[in-house]
A and B are shown apart, each in its own frame.
Chain A
Amino acid sequence: KAGVTQTPRYLIKTRGQQVTLSCSPISGHRSVSWYQQTPGQGLQFLFEYFSETQRNKGNFPGRFSGRQFSNSRSEMNVSTLELGDSALYLCASSLLAGGAGTQYFGPGTRLTVL
């Protein structure tokens, strides 16, 4: 089976712009979660989608949003980019809906905000 794929792998944007990142989960996985990794804050949960519904949301401002499509593919969007949004954005997919499902991560999208 193919793993979790994320596009693009690298992105450079300027402050004030918006960005959309894409994630395709492992085939058959219906849960997709997004995480942000920064040197200062570590790995932090952004949100999770299951069957096109947001189930959980982390402590991030409303500029961060996401959605999931009927084929389980997910996108996250960040509007009005700030310098502090520079990070590695990771997507993870899981077979199970509950928290006991192992999450498998994609390679991430490296976002740089100038």
Chain B
Amino acid sequence: DQQVKQNSPSLSVQEGRISILNCDYTNSMFDYFLWYKKYPAEGPTFLISISSIKDKNEDGRFTVFLNKSAKHLSLHIVPSQPGDSAVYFCAASRSLNNAGNMLTFGGGTRLMVKP
């Protein structure tokens, strides 16, 4: 069973516009969420994270929103740039000390930003 889902395999956006990537999770024990960006044949690059005690976290052009009741998070990129074109993964974990560092990933969304 997929505990973390990214239902849109791809997204195309015009440069300068907003990109919204969505992620849903089913496991209510998850309380820490991360977004990674990945290019082919490279490791994921950390973008931004959010703890379940918050509903929003901003870092420059990137904002993550968390809706705990809906078990849904989204990543907003404003404004989108051609260099943002990559595959974006959301990931979830449990922050308890004894839970360890195990990330459960969504399937990824390929973002294409057109000039």
Residues of A within 8 A of B (CB): 4, 31, 33, 35, 42-45, 48, 50, 55-56, 58, 88, 90, 92, 94, 96-108, 110
Contacts and interface: CB of A to CB of B under 8 A. Distances in A.
A108 B45 contact: no
A99 B95 contact: yes
B34 A102 contact: yes
Contacts of B99: 56, 98-99
Given A48-B102, A90-B43, A105-B43, A99 B32 contact: yes
Nearest to B46: A102
A104 B49 CA distance: 12
Contacts of B59: none
**A-B pairs, 6 with minimum CB distance:** A105-B43, A100-B95, A99-B93, A43-B105, A56-B100, A55-B100
B41, B44, B45: which has the most chain A beta carbons within 10 Å?
B44
Nearest to B2: A42
B46 A100 contact: no
Contact of B96 (A48, A58, A98): A98
B101 A107 contact: no
Given A102-B34, A103-B46, A48 B101 contact: yes
B42 A107 contact: yes
A96 B100 CA distance: 9
A94 B106 CA distance: 20
A33 B102 contact: yes
Contacts of A31: 100-101
A48 B97 CA distance: 13
A73 to B, nearest CB: 16
Contacts of B89: 43
B51 interface: yes
26 contacts: A31-B100, A43-B89, A45-B104, A50-B101, A55-B100, A56-B99, A56-B100, A56-B102, A58-B102, A92-B43, A94-B101, A96-B101, A97-B97, A98-B95, A99-B94, A99-B101, A99-B102, A100-B32, A102-B34, A102-B46, A103-B34, A103-B46, A103-B103, A105-B46, A107-B43, A108-B41
